[in-house]
Amino acid sequence: MHDMSAHAVHHGAPTSFIRKHIFSLDHKVIGKQYYALALVAVIVGMVLSWLMRLHLGFANFAIPGLHLLSKNGAPGDIMTPEYYLQLMTMHGTIMVFFVLTTAPFAAFGNFFLPIQTGAEDMPFPHFNMMSFWVTFTGFVILMASFFVSDGPTLGGWTQYAPLSAVGAVSGPGQGTGVVLWAFSIAFFCVGQLFGSLNFITTTLDMRCKGMSLMRLPLSAWAWFITSIMGLTAFAVLMPAVILLILDHIAGTSFFVASNLVINDSLLPHSGGSTLLWQHLFWFFGHPEVYIAIIPGMGIVSHILITNMRRPMLSHRVLIYSMGALAVLSYMVYGHHMFVSGMNPISSLAFSFPTLIITIPSTIVVLIWLGSLYGSKLRINSASLFALGFISMFISGGISGFFLAQPSIDILLHATYFVVGHFHLVMAVAAIFGIFGGTYFWFPKMTGRMMNESLGQLHFWLTFVGAYCIFMPFHYLGIAGNVRRYQAFVDDYLIPLIPVHKFITVAALATGAVQLIFIYNLIYSRFWGAPAPDNPWQGTSLEWSTATPPPHNNFGDKMPVVYHDPYQYSVEGASSDFIMQTSPEPVHSADEEK
Amino acid sequence: MAKILAVTIIVIAIASAVPIVMHIWPLPQDISLHGHLIDEQYTDTMWEAGISFLASQILLAIFIWKYSKPAPNAGIKRFPGGAAALVIAAFVLVGTEVLALGVFGAKAWGQAYFTPPSADALPVQVQAGQFAFYFRYPGPDGNFGPIHPNLISEANANFYGLDTTNDQDSKDDIVTAEMAIPVNREIHLLMHSKDLGHSFYVPELRVHQDFVPGLDLSIHFTATKIGKYEIVCTQLCGLGHYNMKAYLEVKSQADYDAWLKQQAALQ
Amino acid sequence: MKNRYHFGAVLSAIVLLCCGALILGQKVNAAGEGSITGTVKLDGPAPHMKGIDMSKDPYCVKQHANSPAHLETWVVGSGGGVADAVLYLDGWSGDAKTETSVPVFDQKDCMYTPHVLALDTTQEFKVITSDQTAHNIHPLPNPMINVGWNQSQPPGAPPVTKAWKNPEVIPVQCNIHPWMHGWFVVVKGPYAVTDDSGHYTIKNVPPGSYTVKAWHEPDETQTQKVTVAAGGSATADFTFKAK
Ligand code: HEM
Ligand SMILES: [Cu+2]
Ligand SMILES: [Cu+2]
């Protein structure tokens, strides 16, 4: 084992284009590939959300050209009910899996985890390459489902059985569409399992001299914790989707009960359990939302520390809190199922850990706030997005107090309140983490600086826009507006339609603003100002190597680490930061000893 | 820049709270006997969450405002008490907050789910299916006839799969497309799904329960206000999910009796 | 080697030509077409048709404010004539595509008009909606015989044009309005559907002996043998019993 990994790590720099940029073993290239995948996915996902919003805000509005996307789904450019749900399902699936898991975790983690630990590469580069290409295949399969005869599945990203398990009788996309969805997710799981193994091994086995675990930056810790979660969560989802596939193609009945009648005919299934899918799915699904957000917490902490010119009040408390979130996230999954028909005593039992998980979340936020206190905050695109992340995380987290209580969940379950909650706390917050990480690390990844003015403009419009979109979702939910509805035909929902119109306008505008980011990304990649090695005066290892880093990350000399990761504003030091690799002694009482 | 951000955060925080404080989009009115417990729980939570929300956003804004333009050689100040104080604060403040919410919330939940229906509760059955609810009243004999899934036929309007020629209990069963109930009378709702997962949600009634195919569930409630309300499905069940609904008519006992008679005649 | 291919090509061309000639010949024969007429009746009193409660969709309720909706399994006119029975020629071996009109299947007032749509194989038909509420059209053929579909038509959506490849009786339903039920009766050759008084006329029947088959939902059929003279008309009356 040791021999193999040693051999793998010392792979030489590739020379051919294909080995360099496509089937690359280099974690940095793989990280960028993941980033590119996430970028394509987020654009698709965002366009889908525009279509959904247009349809919701302006019922039976003909969206010019929509029939080109699907003749059946949009006859005469008018979206059908099933097509709305199909787009919604694809939006959710793409966003959760191919954006929020790939970008903050797989993309940035791949690029920076080995560098921040002082490794030359991941221990299993071939697995790493496969991790990306298997994930990519999953994405292609998912996209392919747009083009099969009755379109992609309409079952929502949660794909509840038996709707997902009985086949085409239950609606368009529920045959081939579901099978493709399930295969896509299975591939995704395999890819992330490979990735997680690499992340864990890198963190545990590949650290350079002097790099104790506690000397790892918070971002590295976040990726490490996330990879452990990935290993356990995806390992549950994968068998679940395989069982789902079997229900489709092998005639099994894992998730389908007996005596179900659709379209006046008895289904040929018997003996399965409806709730089994929900248990399996959410045992993965709840950790998954922490997989989406914990890397963001790490990235944001890392960015903030650099821009506050001080370490966090406590390095350890943040690490322990993220660890506590990870552990607790497996114990709270039942809060998605309060009114699902599981034993009401279980609902109560799941509500307490859910309430308790607010404690580590609060600690994280308080540590951020307490560290801001008395800091020397620099404002730039990266730190703006990091601060925006905190604001969003607070707003989204607070609504968790409501949803954690089964009694209030009676009112709010499956309403737009939930949609507002998870978009703020998971979607927008995590996306802000991605944006922050991009502005922060782009120089290191590409060797060029991003345009700062465009970056700040992007922040302002996105920050205000995101609140305009997602805050009103909560009000809708309080008024009882059910989610996953393609139109609002109920008498009590009709008065709420103006709110939907407002949200639609806000969503279109905020979506358009993202073009600034994409322009900035592309422009800066080719024509941006050349980046110095350490543009933000950071201390961690990624800033002590060249920009962009050489093939084996550190050139001829492997780094040696002398300090905790964040030696900023150390009294008596020669400058306001001491790099981890700097042998300069730290005299003052180290905050983290 | 930082000051603008601070102001923006405060403006957004306050603007977000305005519709809540002004009750622009209030909770649907409560027409149930047990709902007030839920509403009180909701209001308490709103107070605690609202204060935490405003406090933390404003604190964030103040710190951004204050610490973004430090004097060139100012040192770093330490938050009084350091991390330990914050951790203790989180445990004490949030810990007691959530414990209190959890304990009182359990009471509201228990009221809805841990009490058995009273013996004289009126049994009504509801069947969910793509994409409509159908209701069944047992008729004068007080018994529901057996369901034969193979007889279910929407084409013949035999939504429950009843065999009215052979099953004695089925003969007087009344199957309806809307649900009427007498006011101030406890209802024991027997729920089953004929096909997929669905849900029974009446916001005004503070009742929300999924249908689980293969599992018969029951809930009970008492409506206290005459009127016409909507029962909607909240569990994604296919293309017609958005249109899966039924009306709930809460009537006086006399109106209810008349309605039931009229429905019986239509069978 | 090459020659072999040439030979094959010539041979298939000849075969094709012969087939073409045969088909053309048939058309020529069809000049003296006759017809079959008759009445379909119900034996005994018209069964009670249960009312339909559309209360879940206020739009549908409004459309039926003055004409309560009821099941359309047996639509019996005065004199016992049965509407919506389909008559066709059993074992038809003539033209594959006799009927060329494009009939319309309308979703109107949350019901299907017509309740039964008869079709020749591969004959195109249009599904349209006249309603201000979305319907999904969900025909349920035997998947071994025809390919089904399930597609919604929101208000204002353009017509959906479809055809069925093989003969089959196909129920169609709207899941959004579970009471909406209708039938596509796909047959080979000339056909007719009875009107409200139970009358029908199968036109364009070439002279010869036939078995006329009468179908009524859900799966009742009767047959009668008739002979059609060139340019003449034969009669076949049927009587069904409601179950
Ligand atoms: C451009 C901004 C976005 C807009 C306007 C938007 C809008 C929506 C809307 C309208 C829904 C349907 C809600 C429902 O009926 O249940 C939805 C669902 C969802 N969105 Fe977004 N969204 C956006 C960005 C994101 C992002 C970045 C994520 C990343 C996590 C995301 C994740 C989801 C998920 C998981 C669902 C649930 C899908 C389902 O119910 O199966 N969205 N979004
Ligand atoms: Cu539903
Ligand atoms: Cu319909």
Ligand 1 pocket check for A419: Cβ under 6 Å: yes
Cβ pair C131, C155 in contact under 8 A: yes
The DSSP secondary structure of A354-411, one letter per residue, reads HHHTHHHHHHHHHHHHHHHTT--PPPSHHHHHHHHHHHHHHHHHHTHHHHTSHHHHHH
Protein residue with its CA nearest to atom 3 in ligand 1: A49
Amino acid at A100: L
- Residue A111, min C-alpha distance to chain B (Å): 30
The average pLDDT across B89-102 equals 90
pLDDT score of A18: 82
Of B74, B109, B233, the CB nearest to A344: B109
Across the interface, whether the CB atoms of B196 and A358 are under 8 A apart is answered no
- Residue ranges matching CATH 2.60.40.420 in chain B: 122-266
pLDDT score of A589: 46
Of A76, A81, A172, the CB nearest to C134: A81
Cβ pair A141, A183 in contact under 8 A: yes
pLDDT of B6 over the 70 cut: yes
Query: Which residues of chain B are within 8 Å of residue C56 when distances are taken between CB atoms?
Result: 132-133, 177-178, 243-247
Query: Which residues of chain A are within 8 Å of residue C156 when distances are taken between CB atoms?
Result: 60, 76, 78
Across the interface, whether the CB atoms of C57 and B240 are under 8 A apart is answered no
Encode pLDDT of A192-228 as tens digits. Answer: 999 999 999 999 999 999 999 999 999 999 999 999 9
The two tokens of residue A533 are: 């090695």
Burial of C24 (0-12, 13-18, 19+ CB in 10 A): exposed
Task: Give every CB contact of residue B101 below 8 A, 6+ residues apart in sequence.
Answer: A355, A401, A404, A405, B41, B44, B45, B48
Query: Which residues of chain B are within 8 Å of residue C149 when distances are taken between CB atoms?
Result: none
- Pick the residue from chain C with its C-alpha nearest to B240: C176
Boundaries of domain holding A366? 24-578
The chains in contact with chain C, meaning 3 or more Cβ pairs closer than 8 Å, are: A, B
For the entire predicted model, the pTM comes to: 0.93
Buried/exposed C47-63: b ≥16 CB within 10 Å, e otherwise: eeeeebbbbbbebbeeb
Encode pLDDT of A265-314 as tens digits. Answer: 999 988 899 999 999 999 999 999 999 999 999 999 999 999 999 999 99
Given ligand 1 and candidates A160, A416, A419, which is best to mutate, with the most ligand atoms within 8 Å of its CB? Answer: A419
Give me the CATH number covering residue A521.
1.20.210.10
Adjacency order of strands within the sheet including B207-211:
B179-182, B245-251, B227-232, B198-202, B207-211
Protein residue with its CA nearest to atom 25 in ligand 1: A427
Residues with CB under 5 A from ligand 3 (ion): C 135, 174, 176-177, 180
Q: Tell me the pLDDT of chain C averaged across its residues.
A: 86
Ligand 1 pocket check for A462: Cβ under 6 Å: no
Rounded alpha-carbon distances, angstroms, from residue B246 to A520, B190, C56: 51, 16, 5
Given ligand 1 and candidates A91, A476, A482, which is best to mutate, with the most ligand atoms within 8 Å of its CB? Answer: A91
Across the interface, whether the CB atoms of C157 and A72 are under 8 A apart is answered no
Ligand 1 pocket check for A176: Cβ under 6 Å: no
Query: Which residues of chain A are within 8 Å of residue C171 when distances are taken between CB atoms?
Result: 264
Q: Determine contact: A168 vs chain B, CB below 8 A.
A: no
pLDDT score of C2: 46
Taking the centre of ligand 3 as the mean of its atom positions, its distance from the CA of residue C177, in whole angstroms, is 4
Ligand 1 pocket check for A110: Cβ under 6 Å: no
Taking the centre of ligand 3 as the mean of its atom positions, its distance from the CA of residue C181, in whole angstroms, is 9
Angle between helices A27-57 and A81-93 (to 10 degrees): 150
pLDDT score of C31: 54
Domain assignment of residue A588, yes or no: no
- Residue A409, min C-alpha distance to chain C (Å): 26
Q: Which residue intervals of A479-537 are DSSP H helices?
A: 497-527
Neighbours of A140 (CB within 10 A): 11
- Pick the residue from chain C with its C-alpha nearest to B131: C176
Identify any residues that bridge with C224 across adjacent strands, giving them in sequence order. C212
- Residue B165, min C-alpha distance to chain C (Å): 13
Taking the centre of ligand 3 as the mean of its atom positions, its distance from the CA of residue B218, in whole angstroms, is 30
Across the interface, whether the CB atoms of C51 and B266 are under 8 A apart is answered yes
Q: Determine contact: C149 vs chain A, CB below 8 A.
A: yes
Collapsing DSSP to helix, strand or coil, C113 comes out as strand
pLDDT score of C97: 63
Across the interface, whether the CB atoms of A81 and C151 are under 8 A apart is answered no
% of chain C exceeding 90 in pLDDT: 62
Ligand 1 pocket check for A426: Cβ under 6 Å: yes
Ligand 1 pocket check for A69: Cβ under 6 Å: no
Cβ pair C136, C176 in contact under 8 A: yes
Q: How is residue B68 annotated by DSSP? A: S
The average pLDDT across B11-36 equals 93
The two tokens of residue A449 are: 């600086």
Architecture of domain B122-266: Sandwich (2.60)
pLDDT score of C8: 52
pLDDT score of A592: 43
Q: Which atom of ligand 1 is nearest to the CA of A466?
A: 2
User: Best interface-test mutation with B: which of A351, A410, A417, A474 has the largest number of B CBs within 10 A?
Assistant: A410
Q: How is residue B146 annotated by DSSP? A: P
The CA R_g of chain C, rounded to the nearest whole Å, is: 21
Domain C34-241: state its class: mainly beta
- Residue A487, min C-alpha distance to chain C (Å): 10
Per-residue pLDDT 10s for chain A (593 aa) are: 333 344 445 567 777 888 888 899 999 999 999 999 999 999 999 999 999 999 999 887 888 888 888 888 888 889 999 999 999 999 999 999 999 999 999 999 999 999 999 999 999 999 999 999 999 999 999 999 999 988 999 999 999 989 999 999 999 999 999 999 999 999 999 999 999 999 999 999 999 999 999 999 999 999 999 999 999 999 999 999 999 999 999 989 999 999 999 999 999 988 899 999 999 999 999 999 999 999 999 999 999 999 999 999 999 999 999 999 999 999 999 999 999 999 999 999 999 999 999 999 999 999 999 999 989 999 999 999 999 999 999 999 999 999 999 999 999 999 999 999 999 999 999 999 999 999 999 999 999 999 999 999 999 999 999 999 999 999 999 999 999 999 999 999 999 999 999 999 999 999 999 999 999 999 999 999 999 999 999 999 999 999 989 998 998 888 999 989 999 988 888 888 999 998 888 765 444 43
Rounded alpha-carbon distances, angstroms, from residue C123 to C99, C184, C186, C203, C204: 7, 12, 9, 16, 16
Helix (H) or strand (E) holding C192: strand C191-193
pLDDT of C137 over the 70 cut: yes
| Extents of the domains making up chain C | 1-32, 34-241
Q: Determine contact: A341 vs chain C, CB below 8 A.
A: no
Across the interface, whether the CB atoms of A487 and C134 are under 8 A apart is answered yes
- Pick the residue from chain B with its C-alpha nearest to A266: B150
Of A344, A363, A376, the CB nearest to B114: A344
Task: Compute the distance between CA of residue C84 and CA of residue A230 in angstroms, rounded to an integer.
Answer: 61
- Pick the residue from chain A with its C-alpha nearest to C147: A149
Encode pLDDT of C196-236 as tens digits. Answer: 999 999 988 889 899 999 999 888 899 999 999 888 889 99
* Ligand nearest to the CA of residue C182, numbered in listed order: 3
The DSSP secondary structure of A312-349, one letter per residue, reads -S-HHHHHHHHHHHHHHHTT-GGGG-TTTTS-HHHHHH
Q: Which atom of ligand 1 is nearest to the CA of A156?
A: 41
Query: Which residues of chain B are within 8 Å of residue C57 when distances are taken between CB atoms?
Result: 243
pLDDT of B53 over the 50 cut: yes
Residue whose pair of structure tokens reads 């969709």 in the numeric block: C57
Query: Which residues of chain B are within 8 Å of residue C136 when distances are taken between CB atoms?
Result: 239-240
Encode pLDDT of C178-198 as tens digits. Answer: 999 999 999 998 999 999 999
pLDDT of C100 over the 80 cut: no
pLDDT score of B192: 96
Report the greatest alpha carbon distance in chain B: 94
Taking the centre of ligand 3 as the mean of its atom positions, its distance from the CA of residue C135, in whole angstroms, is 4
- Helix-strand-coil percent breakdown of chain C, rounded to 5? 15, 40, 45
Cβ pair A372, A308 in contact under 8 A: yes
